[in-house]
């Protein structure tokens, strides 16, 4: 959100005064609509909880006295050497294959996943916005080169390249962040370019040019604020993709290396134990699922809230009960003139959800 607040601040750089009548900004309106979207708010809460848990992972270590990479062969493993189930000997979610605290490891995995998700999305979004703006605004040969490069990146079999890079450069967090970032800017660049092409024909861009504004001032102060809505939605939807991508690479052993905890690693190890320790598979998988789902739902919610037309949907939803009652009082309206059977049924407004 710092990107947004920064730009908002830039847009109103002239400064604000409490005494001055305040106009409602796009973000205030969006938030007003988002607040009524229960699913999006729930998703936002889940994400916030996940972030708090990840940040406070060391605090949980202090409580449980189970550092993430320490194995407890005596208390954390059964006599047969299998993981102990949840709740045993202070292991809230049980232990993993080597007797480490699964809960703590999932928390530390969340740190990696969220870090990779946010950082790669931030890099990809910044790069995508920059490339898209420059290609769209300058046009001509600049556009041709950048747009074709974007197409090339989009056409690349990215899993193959990611695997190859991880093998060649050796798996590490830096390589993962680099690879995922590299593949996340192109789609954003393409959308930003398209929007820029349409916005730069607007009269207010010509007005800015007639005032003597330079290309970068126009790109960042006049065009970018109009693009933030689609970019924010895209970025929110990119985070879960990056999270899953990181998990996939780690699962394949090409991402985060043991003993550092990562959801992909945990799941990879867990497949040896799924018959004896359901918790070993279920909890990290659930963490991955819940996180990605929450980001996706939040992204959808933001997209709906950004669209001014959805105001009517919410208004209709609120007024629906009332209207139903009204409808019951009135005699059914038979649509005249249309000989199609059931046409009046089809014509019933909002017959179903």
Partner 1 sequence: MSALPVEGPADDDVLVRVDHLVKHFPVRSSGLIRRTVAQVQAVEDVSLSIPRGKTLGLVGETGSGKSTLARCVAGLIPVTSGRVTFNGRDITNLSRRAMRPVRREIQMIFQDPYSSLNPRRRVGSIIGDPFAIHKTATGAERKRQVQELMERVGLNPEHYNRFPAEFSGGQRQRIGVARALALRPQLIICDEPVSALDVSIQAQVLNLLTDLQQDYGLTYLFIAHDLEVVRHVSDTVAVMYLGRIGESGPKGPLYESPRHPYTAALLSAAPAADPDAAAGRQRIILRGDVPSPIDPPSGCRFHPRCPKAQPLCAEAEPQLEAKAGDPATHLTACHFPVETGENLATATAATPAAGGSELI
Binding residues vs partner 1 (CB under 8 A): 11-17, 19-26, 202-204, 206-214, 217, 221-222, 225-226, 228
Q: Which is nearer to partner 1, 43 or 229 (CB)?
A: 229
**Under 8 Å between Cβ of 304 and 310:** yes
Q: Which is nearer to partner 1, 23 or 331 (CB)?
A: 23
Per the listing, tokens 């605290």 go with 101
For the CB of residue 180, give the shortest distance to partner 1 in the complex, in Å: 30
Burial class (CB in 10 A: 0-12, 13-18, 19+), 248: middle
**Distance separating alpha carbons of residues 78 and 90, to the nearest angstrom:** 14
Burial class (CB in 10 A: 0-12, 13-18, 19+), 322: exposed
Contacts of 341 (CB under 8 A, 6+ apart): none
Contacts of 30 (CB under 8 A, 6+ apart): 229, 302, 305, 306
Half-sphere exposure of residue 352: CA atoms within 13 angstroms, side-chain side: 2
For the CB of residue 15, give the shortest distance to partner 1 in the complex, in Å: 6
Per the listing, tokens 């790669």 go with 120
Q: Which is nearer to partner 1, 101 or 222 (CB)?
A: 222
DSSP 8-state class, residue 98: T
**Distance separating alpha carbons of residues 207 and 209, to the nearest angstrom:** 5
For the CB of residue 22, give the shortest distance to partner 1 in the complex, in Å: 5
For the CB of residue 212, give the shortest distance to partner 1 in the complex, in Å: 4
Q: Which is nearer to partner 1, 7 or 173 (CB)?
A: 7
**Distance separating alpha carbons of residues 89 and 64, to the nearest angstrom:** 10
For the CB of residue 210, give the shortest distance to partner 1 in the complex, in Å: 5
Per the listing, tokens 């059931």 go with 342
For the CB of residue 127, give the shortest distance to partner 1 in the complex, in Å: 22
Q: Which is nearer to partner 1, 207 or 293 (CB)?
A: 207
Q: Which is nearer to partner 1, 26 or 248 (CB)?
A: 26
């Amino acid at each position: 959100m710092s990107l947004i607040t920064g730009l908002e601040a830039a847009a109103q750089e002239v400064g604000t005064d409490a005494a001055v009548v305040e106009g409602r900004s796009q973000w205030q309106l969006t938030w007003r609509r988002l607040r009524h979207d229960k699913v999006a708010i729930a998703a936002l809460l889940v994400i916030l909880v996940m972030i708090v848990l990840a940040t406070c992972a060391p605090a949980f270590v202090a409580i449980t006295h189970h550092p993430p990479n320490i194995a407890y062969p005596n208390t954390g493993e059964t006599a047969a050497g299998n993981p102990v189930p949840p709740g045993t000997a202070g292991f809230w979610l049980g232990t993993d294959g080597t007797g480490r605290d699964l809960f703590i490891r999932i928390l530390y995995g969340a740190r990696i996943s969220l870090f990779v998700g946010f950082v790669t999305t931030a890099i990809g979004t910044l790069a995508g916005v920059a490339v898209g703006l420059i290609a769209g605004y300058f046009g001509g040969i600049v556009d041709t080169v950048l747009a074709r490069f974007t197409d090339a990146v989009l056409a690349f079999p990215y899993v193959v390249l990611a695997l190859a890079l991880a093998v060649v450069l050796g798996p590490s967090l830096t390589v993962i962040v680099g690879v995922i970032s590299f593949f996340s800017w192109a789609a954003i660049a393409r959308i930003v370019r398209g929007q820029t092409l349409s916005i730069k024909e607007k009269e207010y861009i010509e007005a800015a040019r007639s005032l003597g504004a330079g290309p970068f001032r126009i790109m960042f102060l006049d065009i970018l604020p109009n693009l933030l809505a689609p970019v924010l939605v895209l970025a929110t939807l990119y985070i879960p993709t990056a999270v899953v991508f990181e998990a996939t690479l780690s699962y394949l052993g090409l991402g985060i290396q043991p003993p550092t905890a990562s959801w992909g690693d945990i799941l990879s190890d867990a497949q040896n134990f799924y018959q004896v320790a359901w918790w070993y598979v279920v909890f990290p998988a659930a963490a991955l699922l819940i996180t990605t789902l929450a980001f996706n739902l939040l992204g959808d919610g933001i997209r709906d809230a950004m669209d001014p037309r959805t105001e009517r949907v919410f208004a209709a939803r609120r007024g629906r009960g009332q209207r139903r009652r009204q409808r019951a009082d009135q005699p059914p309206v038979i649509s005249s003139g249309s000989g199609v059977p059931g046409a009046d049924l089809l014509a019933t407004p909002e017959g179903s959800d």
